[in-house]
Structure 1
């Protein structure tokens, strides 16, 4: 099984990519009600990503003069309404036996949390990245396979005729 992550800037340039098994863990969290008529002021979808990367595979600051394709630089980007680099398109894909079992794209992702630590004895950089989708763009999150809205609502309604129901994750 492998997990890949691709982060693209709207202004173009080289994307940030982790495709060679560097992503060691992934969690998708949704604290939003699936019922569209529910009243909630605290909607949130987030991707929690963990990684271990050998230090020798990181680009040098000299080779990447503007540092625009580094996670810690994106994390420190100041919010400006007209900034094209604050919100980015992020795709995470989980593949097993050459078949994608999860494929999620946040079209307007921003860094909610980023932390890294370097273990010099093992020459490894470990990081944890938490991404969230811009609140007014929650409807643009892309999932594969895509559920139809009607199916989603039906899944939210309990079926009293069945005592034991399972929900596939």
Structure 2
């Protein structure tokens, strides 16, 4: 089984991609009520992603270059209303035996939490990333496979 992550900027450029076993864990959380008259109307959808990456595969930071294709840079981007790069399209795909068993796309994702640690003896960078969808864009989250509504019996 493999998990891949692709993060794209609205302004174009190189996407941030993790493939070939770099993503070691994934959790999708939805704690929203299906019935809006339920106890809470606070909607929250989040992707929790864990990874281990060899240090040699990290891109170099070049002075005066556009380094926004680095996860670390995006995670530290300050919110500005006019910024095209604060919200990004994030697609996570889980594949087993060459069949996609789950795919979720946040069309307006932002970084809620990012933490990393380096193990120089093993030359590994480990990170945990928590992404959320912009609140007014929750209806644009894309899921595959789509779930059909259950029929109700009278």
TM-score (norm 1): 0.85
Alignment match, 1:110: 110
Q: Which of 71-80 and 21-30 deviates more? A: 71-80
Alignment match, 1:21: 21
- Corresponding residue SS for 2:51: strand
Pairing of 1:87-166 with structure 2 (within 5 A): 87-148=87-148, 151=149, 154=150
Alignment match, 1:165: none
Shift of 1:71: 1.1
| TM-align CA RMSD | 1.9
Alignment match, 2:11: 11
Deviations 1:62-118 (A, max 9, x none): 299221011111111111111100000000000000000110000000000000000
Alignment match, 1:50: 50
- Corresponding residue SS for 1:74: helix
Shift of 1:39: 5.7
Inter-CA distance 27–64: structure 2 relative to 1 (3 Å threshold): farther
| Counterparts of 1:66 and 1:22, CA distance in 2 | 24
- Count the aligned residue pairs: 153
| Counterparts of 1:73 and 1:62, CA distance in 2 | 12
| Counterparts of 1:143 and 1:114, CA distance in 2 | 24
Shift of 1:40: 2.8
The structure with the greater share of residues assigned to strand is 2
Q: Structure 1 stretches of 5 or more lacking a match?
A: 160-169
